[in-house]
Structure 1
């Protein structure tokens, strides 16, 4: 598998996933995105190099539909428009990204060096923040 960058679709598996989504019907696309996210959520520490990049790409597609998501998650994967994803995929995407971050054994060698690794991690955290924005605390409500 080839990795040429740190973005959600910057690897062969995610690019293949985008092609698979383009070839599928609308209803099947929703199922495909949910299935790849669920696989990574239920895999826990057994995440492999085939599922993790696809899960990151799937989470980016879900995040792109959230407020501010298009600006934070530029998507150049699938060429066909994605259907509106059900809200249940949002939490599944958050959990999948958490598992991808926690299971470092699968990571591409290109992401293990200091610059690419930290940029990849920042990209994953940015996706997660779009899906689950940090809450601002205030001392007093005005």
Structure 2
């Protein structure tokens, strides 16, 4: 895994996801985000979640959170360059579930960060993203 930081787009996989969004027709971008969130969200807690799937779910959740009031814009040079359509509020619930899954047992991404001694710091960033989405979900 080519990772250079803890940001939501600081890996080859997340940057590739952003590039794929840029390359996709505008009408397909929401569907790609929806699919990334749904895949991680439906992976059961006893199933192993591959690191790449976790990275893509986190990146998709960050893009969703950026569009909500008070959301942090995705300003990484590795994030998408092309505009995203307004993402529907109903994506917040699968985004929260996807982030819960990334933080749960049998998550390769969580294991990789723990192996390098950065599991707590990395998890805190994902939990913060989750809290923003959960708060937005409750508010609206």
Asked if these proteins are the same fold (TM beyond 0.5), I'd say yes
Matched, 1:34 2:34: yes
Q: 2:93 and 2:75 mapped to 1: Cα distance?
A: 20
Structure 1 counterpart SS, 2:30: helix
The 3 A distance-change label for structure 1 pair 105 and 128 is closer
Q: Once the 2 structures are TM-superposed, how far is the Cα of residue 108 of structure 1 from its aligned partner?
A: 6.4
2:131 pairs with one of 119, 129, 132: 129
- Quick check: 2:102–2:110 contact (8 Å CA) kept in 1? no
Q: Give per-residue Cα distances to partners, 1:78-100, cap 9 Å, x unaligned.
A: 01111100111111111100000
1:61 pairs with one of 46, 60, 63: 63
The 3 A distance-change label for structure 1 pair 108 and 29 is same
Matched pairs, number: 132
Unaligned runs of 5+ residues in structure 1 are: 136-142
Where do 1:73-84 residues align within 5 Å? 74-76=74-76, 77-84=79-86
Structure 1 counterpart SS, 2:15: helix
Structure with max Cα Rg: 1
Deviates more, 1:125-134 or 1:50-59: 125-134
Q: Which residue of 2 aligns with 1:138?
A: none
Q: 1:5 and 1:110 mapped to 2: Cα distance?
A: 13
Q: Once the 2 structures are TM-superposed, how far is the Cα of residue 75 of structure 1 from its aligned partner?
A: 3.7
Q: 2:96 and 2:81 mapped to 1: Cα distance?
A: 24
Q: 1:85 and 1:75 mapped to 2: Cα distance?
A: 18
The 3 A distance-change label for structure 1 pair 119 and 78 is same
The 3 A distance-change label for structure 1 pair 132 and 18 is same
**Root mean square deviation, CA, Å:** 1.9
Q: Once the 2 structures are TM-superposed, how far is the Cα of residue 109 of structure 1 from its aligned partner?
A: 6.3
